[in-house]
């Protein structure tokens, strides 16, 4: 048996008898250029998955922050108030509306009694902090009333909450009267 190398050497002329097609070099060059452009992908293509993961984390963090900081408490209170207001007896709704009107008048009276705009803003901010606590309590009471309708204890607590709101504003007004 002859070695393959000896066979190739003896038949060298048969292997080298024709040149490749001229289009062969052009096709080869195009393939090389095509491979080269694939390897030079842009920054976005290289980090596409990482950007998607970062965007998802950012969305979850934003939604979590919004829910944690209770940004939607105003909307929640508005919807709760509308639902509970529809269920509260008409007398309680009238009394609460009365106290709301009184509270609004007292807040405008605080503006009038304040010596300067800065003082008015500062005093109103203090009052609004205290009133926000009462508002949160009122929302909880209304939610509890929705669970236990016709509970006199809860209705009395709602009325007491409104009275306390008025008393806080009266205390602030009397303090401003003493200062002036």
Closest CA to 166 of 77, 115, 95, 117: 95
Residues 110 and 174 in one domain: yes
Residues 31 and 107 in one domain: no
Task: Please check the confidence at residue 72 and state whether its pLDDT lies above 60.
Answer: no
Query: For 93-117, what is each residue's pLDDT tens digit?
Result: 888 888 888 888 887 887 777 767 6
Asked if residue 115 is part of any domain, the answer here is yes
Asked if residue 4 is part of any domain, the answer here is no
Q: What average pLDDT does the structure give for the chain?
A: 77
Which residue is associated with the tokens 């060059």? Answer: 29
Asked if residue 98 is part of any domain, the answer here is yes
Q: Give the per-residue pLDDT at 86.
A: 47
Residues 112 and 170 in one domain: yes
Residues 81 and 136 in one domain: yes
Asked if residue 10 is part of any domain, the answer here is no
Task: Please check the confidence at residue 73 and state whether its pLDDT lies above 50.
Answer: yes
Q: Give the per-residue pLDDT at 59.
A: 92
Q: Is 68 left (phi over 0), alpha (psi -120 to 50) or beta?
A: alpha
Asked if residue 53 is part of any domain, the answer here is yes
Domain residues for the domain of 102 are 73-179
Q: How many helices (H) and strands (E) would you count in the chain?
A: 9, 0
Which tokens is 6 given?
A: 């000896």
């Amino acid at each position: 048996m002859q070695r393959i190398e000896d066979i190739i050497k003896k038949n060298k002329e048969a292997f080298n008898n024709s040149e490749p097609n001229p289009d062969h070099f052009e096709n080869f060059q195009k393939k090389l250029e095509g491979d080269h452009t694939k390897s030079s992908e842009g920054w976005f293509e290289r980090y596409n998955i990482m950007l998607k993961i970062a965007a998802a984390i950012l969305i979850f963090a934003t939604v979590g922050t919004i829910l944690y900081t209770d940004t939607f408490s105003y909307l929640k209170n508005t919807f709760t108030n509308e639902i509970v207001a529809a269920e509260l007896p008409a007398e309680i709704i009238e009394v609460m509306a009365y106290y709301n009107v009184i509270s609004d008048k007292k807040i405008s009276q605080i503006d009038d009694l304040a010596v300067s705009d800065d003082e008015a803003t500062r005093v109103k901010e203090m009052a609004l902090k205290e009133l926000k606590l009462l508002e949160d309590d009122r929302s909880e009471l209304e939610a509890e009333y929705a669970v236990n309708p016709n509970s006199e204890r809860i209705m009395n607590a709602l009325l007491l909450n409104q009275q306390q709101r008025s008393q806080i504003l009266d205390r602030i007004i009397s303090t401003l009267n003493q200062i002036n």
